[in-house]
Structure 1
């Protein structure tokens, strides 16, 4: 359990439990301001997930687990021994906060499984222990993925990453950026090219911030600049995270990942997806079954509070796209690596 709260969040501080409260690094403010948002109830956590105070599939799962702890506290105070019934609305609220990131539902289901085994006594201590375990397991998984992914890179080479799959998007260390950290530490990565990632600019605001904080050379580029960079040579890998992976190895990730994978295949650049097994959804046969979140078109029509498009302009704002498994060279998880993923290989990985 966190014994001291940092004065300001660092990349490893997406979610912290301290003094009986959940603290989330408000990722909407970074890098201009590094501030924590303190939360005391499950509806507040659900809204923070929906509003992208916390984002990144693993970090969302960790936050949701702590949200269940807060839900249990509220339910026990309100209903005493009948807390099992009282907690259900908050569990549903947390599970529905965002539709695509499967880690969210996975974490709530895991916590619900423990709830079903608890008696009428105060559930908070047992649920807090479970949430802390989920958090610690994610950190350890990221370290393992970092080592496994780095082992695939024959470098030194430049790499491209899209969106943010770093420590701030996870329980710590990062998925895609965890691989990059481990590979850079052994001299396999020269420079990281970070796509800016419209419309929330996670690459510009978060990935660049994290890599600079770690002393890893990073160059920011517009999302549309990747093709010309690949054409010039020197890029060996595209390394990204994922919000959901279907049973056949199709990958849902931040919008623009699909196009990046097509460009990579044309230019002979390999594509690596780093994600914990909690991101793999074996109940979905293919990427076409993955629910794709669509957010407010205003996010696309404006930037930094300034409107860009003319009044009355229509916009579509899908947050994710699906990259077919045929365009993925490797899926890296804490359980192992799947090369050229297929249904059979994913089944073998997941047991």
Structure 2
């Protein structure tokens, strides 16, 4: 096992242990609920957080802290765990908005909760119950994120400011994505704006800034981290765009060609429209249309162009790590590995 892989495993273990302790404490505060209701929270939120995900965003929090000179891992763990809880909330809400059937190879929370409603013989609309309950679980995760961030210590105010910015930007980006589809033809710049705020800043830049805030890093290091994060966040989103068109449903948890069926405003589709002007991309309603659109995207060179763009952006991100004032070698090595992971398409 190489050094970075070993470091990644150690960082995840630290975060997972802290998360488990935090969640156990927070569930204990739900003693005003009946046992079955607490069990529902454990099954559909606690287990969702602890048993899935790659901890990509908490890893960026951790290495942003180390890059800024932080030397006590326990100091940054609350912020890293808060980031993972925000991400869990985002996934729960995203699945409701996208009407996704599955997540991480299992029924999405709102789908499973609707099934629970039906099996219990409750009155009312099962689908509405599932969506409402999943939304409440997401709000609970956001509340717990604030609770754990309180453990940050003397730099709580700076950390809370970054986490608030992250959430506001992610909500705004999600709204832009929702408002532009279906039936709208986003150009390159609009697609980039949506990806920047929906995913790029949320996945890479703000988590790095959160770690930097906890460490009390200097402004020059903050600028270096942004120079690394912004191109990498864009590369990550373009990779996600490709997955949304060509991804295996067994891995993505979404129908084949999900972005095509939903008419998403993405860099990949904007590039294909620019190259072809074909209406095929704007009228995909079934798997036959997905196949035709996929073929068009490949034939016109849009897929190859997207791959080249990812490689260029990842290279730009890594090069930024050597700008003044520089960062500790261990942090640089870890961030290079994370750049490779993002460019290749790290799940969630």
TM-score by length of 2: 0.25
Higher helix share: 2
TM-score by length of 1: 0.25
Q: Relative contact order (C-alpha < 8 Å, sep 6+): which is higher? A: 2
